[in-house]
Amino acid sequence: MKVLLHLAIILFLTVLTQIGGVIYLITILIINRKSERKRLKRTFTFLLLYAFTTFMIIPHVAEIFGREKVKETEIIKANTFFAKLLNRNYVKPELNMLLQKISTDFRKSHQGINIVYLDANFPFINKFPLLPHLSHNDGKKIDLSFIYQLETGEITNKKPSISGYGVYVNPNENEIKQYQICEENGYWQYDFSKYLTFGTINRDIQFSQNATKDLIYSIIKQQETGKNFIEPHLKNRMKLTSDKIRFQGCRAVRHDDHIHVQLK
Ligand SMILES: [Zn+2]
């Protein structure tokens, strides 16, 4: 029974952080069963080892495998500290360069507005998916937040969801309802990110169609940009015609809460 519990924890930590499962395994091997105050010692050891590995070791080892942390600048910011704590902020150097170009271009028309990133990729191993994003498995993918505005119409850096996911810009009456189409075809997970907000905040802000469109243009005009995923009704609403803008398919999740960017 205990072994099963340990295995479940290892699996959970691996899915969440890639390296957490291994760190947990090392922890239970170091602090053995007979140790006094075992649970406390294990918790403490795990946290210490995990933090040390995540912030001091992984960034260097990842470089050997061709990935690095998303480079934050005055413009490019993480939505929360968790992307970094959970090792979900690794990309290929080429993607960092692309983000720099996008941010320089976007800043020309939007002084003071940040480009906020959500999940990117884990530090190691191609084809190791960063759930729930199946395709974030090669260092070439990153999700960016939409841009929002205050009731006065002023563009803001505030976002409506703590995780950055799950607060949708829903289709209007007369727009295509892709989530219904996917649900009717049996893809129950398509609408799942609504459970992953970890709380909604800033209820007074609204989706800024214009500023988000400017961001999308800054993305697609770069030669290095491959595909961009966004929900079909938003593509139509924003009149986006580039062939880089695609529908991600029903196997993925909704993309009316963020923009998915990937390298060619
Ligand atoms: Zn994505």
- Measuring CA to CA, which residue among 244, 234, 208 is closest to residue 102? 244
Element (H, E) at 180: helix 178-184
Start-to-end CA span in the chain (Å): 47
Number of helices (H), then strands (E), belonging to the chain: the values are 9, 11
- Tens of pLDDT, residues 46-83: 999 999 999 999 999 999 999 999 999 999 999 999 99
Q: How many angstroms separate the alpha carbon of residue 143 from the centre of ligand 1?
A: 5
Dist CA 170 CA 204 (whole Å)? 16
Q: How many angstroms separate the alpha carbon of residue 122 from the centre of ligand 1?
A: 13
- Tens of pLDDT, residues 113-127: 999 999 999 999 888
- Report the mean per-residue pLDDT for the chain: 93
Q: Is the peptide bond before 132 cis (omega within 30 degrees of 0)?
A: yes
Q: Which residues contact 118 (CB under 8 A, 6 or more apart)?
A: 79, 83, 142, 143, 144, 145, 163, 164, 165, 258
Q: How many angstroms separate the alpha carbon of residue 229 from the centre of ligand 1?
A: 8
Q: How many angstroms separate the alpha carbon of residue 204 from the centre of ligand 1?
A: 26
pLDDT for residue 156: 96
Q: Which residues contact 174 (CB under 8 A, 6 or more apart)?
A: none
Q: How many angstroms separate the alpha carbon of residue 161 from the centre of ligand 1?
A: 16
pLDDT for residue 132: 82
Segments of the chain scoring below 70 in pLDDT: none
Q: How many angstroms separate the alpha carbon of residue 248 from the centre of ligand 1?
A: 9
Percentage of the chain beyond pLDDT 70 is 100
Q: How many angstroms separate the alpha carbon of residue 99 from the centre of ligand 1?
A: 14
Buried b (16+ CB within 10 A) or exposed e, 54-83: beeebbeebeeebbbbbeeeebbebbbebb
